[in-house]
Structure 1
Amino acid sequence: MKRIRKAVFPVAGLGTRFLPATKSVPKEMLTVVDKPVIQHVVDEAREAGIEHFIFVTGRNKGVIEDHFDIAYELDSMLRTRGKTEALEELKRLLPAAGQTAFTRQQEPLGLGHAVWCARDIVGNEPFALLLPDMLHHGQGKGCLAEMMEAYDKVGGNHIAVFEAPHDQTHQYGIVGRGTEIGGNAFEITQMVEKPPKGTAPSNLAVSGRYILQPEVFALLETQERGAGGEIQLTDSMLTLARTQKFYGSVFKGRIFDTGQKIGFLVANVAYALARPDLGEELRAELRALGL
């Protein structure tokens, strides 16, 4: 059983829901408090032990690559002005040399296609996949770290899930719950994409975190276009599940879809309230607004 060393981040989306803000700024670079969304997700992967960060980019996404590089002029200015705390924070967030890779998804052909674009960089080893729009916010270990613990026990493929309201299961990918394997993890018995109302096998919805075996790349290469005319990752996972085990890990914190305006706004409030340097002052301001 190979260790998970690499993580893929699909960041090629246009972010049209946030226009005009995303006309010149990638949606992944919009900030939740004082960090870009993509930085929060990379931090989660790093906490889980990921060593190589693979970004599947698109046009006008060069600023993401710049963000994960040294900014010599900025560092020099901070050093000259004695802003050592800010300088140290930038150094802490910076991946080491050789730990990042960037590849281009030339056409918007779906999540499955974006994952396939990373095939040569990932190689023949299992990898993590983190959707940057989905921020997993909770106490204690991060979502991917919990999934890695389950993977270390049983191997296979893993999907993070959360408990969705029963009347909303038709909006999500849903998995069926089988034998428990310890902690919050279990065997997956079914995977259904947006089941019709009243037909879902459970209320456990896919949350945008995966651990996948490399055999998925061969399936994605020949995968026909599915819903929306795109190459769907779920279709290839369903095929892979015929020969390999899939497991689920229930994330107990809050999940914010920052690709939606409400999710993005609430994420900013939640992350700020959890900060010792901002929480109390923000609560006071919210009370002043009558909230």
Structure 2
Amino acid sequence: MQKELGSLLQGYRERAGLKKAQLAQRAGVSASFVTYIESGQRRPSPTMLARLMQALDLTAPEKRGLLRAAGYHEDPSPRLSDITEQLADLPPREREELIEEFSRALGRWRQLRRKRVRRVVIPIAGWQPRLLSPEQLGKMLRPALEESALAGLSEVILVLAPGKAAPVLKVPHGLKVRTVVQEPQVGLGHAILITQGVVGDEPFAVILPDDILLGEGRCCVQQMLALYEEYRCSVLAVTSVEGAADFKNYGIAQLGEAVRENLYLVTGLQEKPTRGRRTGLTIVGRYVLTPQIFEALQATPPDKNNELQLTDALNILLRRQRISAFVYTEKLFRVTPIKILLEQLIDALDESRPERLEQAMQITKEALHALTAL
């Protein structure tokens, strides 16, 4: 289906004499996004597809063909101005009946907007979790599952690597677990994007299990869900960093106006900055996201490593709606990625600094001890 869509889009673009970058500029998307659609790797949202069709100035039959190829209804929703004009031409009785029907539909839409968060996405398709056995991975996931249950969530969506056996889980009562396979593994943003078919048009939470939160009282996600219910916007958790070196390992959030204690409006985000101005708070692996994040992810170009980053998509979402940051002040244990441990060892060996080597070896021993204790 997506290959047919890609072929049609490419044909219409070439007929119009447009390069990918030109079409992207007209539609307000990235050139790489157009490339992904034409190669059959992505399906645009209805809104994105409408932008592309408008940029190509397609006929009605051509639009219907693209909608069919994308798997969408052939009759897209009319604009409000069109509805208003048509209502004015109707007899009074029919007009009143339609207005009443629209009111009921609006009520249902408002109910949908008030839907509570039911699902949580837990990505475990990265190369580091793939080193663990199903039993070890299940133990690593235990805190995330318990936090999900405490927060009142009802469904967990695990994002797995292809060919990886499902983790052996002890699922808390009331939780349902579903799995989605990420292939290829091209970033956290991609892992979130492929869950769209399961999540649907609902807000959802994200838990990264290598950030283990050990606070007392209400868990972090539970507090974030309460903030979402009150302010109806995406919420991400942040915390202060101990040293400048931590900035290059985590996403950074720039904070603006304080909404209330430990809650701020986000003004910008940066994915693992390596140089330049590095200030702000690091992002903790806890998010509550509106469904509009999927549209932002579709419009996000890959980074220099050809990965789709959630932080970059959040920056796009930030242009369209506000995002809040919840400052987590309690105890946090971050599982040191194996990649960072190896980098520390290699740097210490390269610089021939015994004190660095001894420190890196000690960290590695502690990590291996923790791994074998799982």
TM-score by length of 1: 0.71
How far residue 158 of structure 1 moved from its aligned partner, in angstroms, is: 0.8
Amino acid at match of 1:185: L
Which residues of structure 2 form unaligned runs of 5+? 1-113, 339-362
Separation in 1, partners of 2:331, 2:364: 11
Letter of the 2:141 counterpart: I
Contact 2:144 2:212 in 1 (8 A): yes
CA RMSD of aligned residues (A): 2.8
Q: Paired residue for 2:136?
A: 30
CA contact (8 A) 1:257 1:264 kept: no
| Cα deviation digits, residues 22-81 of structure 1 (max 9, x gap) | 3xx15xx537xxx712111111111111111111111343332x425xxxxxxxxxxxxx
Aligned to 1:52: 155
- For residues 92-171 of structure 1, the aligned pairs below 5 Å read 93-96=171-174, 99-168=176-245, 169-171=247-249
Alignment correspondent of 2:9: none
Moved over 6 A (4+): none
Match of 1:191 among 269, 282, 294: 269
Q: CA separation in 2, counterparts of 1:96 and 1:139?
A: 22
How many equivalent pairs are there?
Answer: 233
Counterpart contact for 2:159–2:181, Cα < 8 Å: yes
Q: TM-score, normalised by structure 2?
A: 0.56
The higher relative CO (CA closer than 8 Å, separation ≥ 6) is in 1
Judging by fraction of residues, say which structure has more helix. Answer: 2
CA distance in 2, matches of 1:60, 1:259: 25
State yes or no: 1:15 paired with 2:128: yes
Q: Secondary structure at the match of 1:67?
A: coil
Structure 1 counterpart of 2:155, one-letter code: H
Distance 1:13 1:95, change over 3 A: farther
Per-residue deviation, 1:265: 4.8
Structure 1 residues 94 and 146: CA distance shift in structure 2, 3 A: closer
Partners of 2:149 and 2:172 within 8 A in 1: no
Structure 1 unmatched ranges of 5 or more: 69-92, 273-291
1:6 aligns with 2:119: yes
Helix, strand or coil: the match of 1:30? helix
SS at match of 2:146: helix
The superposition leaves residues 116-172 of structure 1 with CA deviations (integer Å, 9 ceiling, x where unpaired) of 111011000110011111111122221111211221221111110111135233443
What CA distance in whole angstroms lies between the structure 1 residues aligned with 2:277 and 2:121? 32
Cα distance 1:121–1:263, how it changes in 2: closer, same or farther (>3 A)? farther
Query: Identity of aligned pairs, percent?
Result: 29
Query: Which 10-residue stretch deviates more, 217-226 or 243-252?
Result: 217-226
> 1:256·1:264 contact (CA, 8 Å) conserved in 2?
no
Q: Is the 8 A contact 2:300 2:316 kept in 1?
A: no
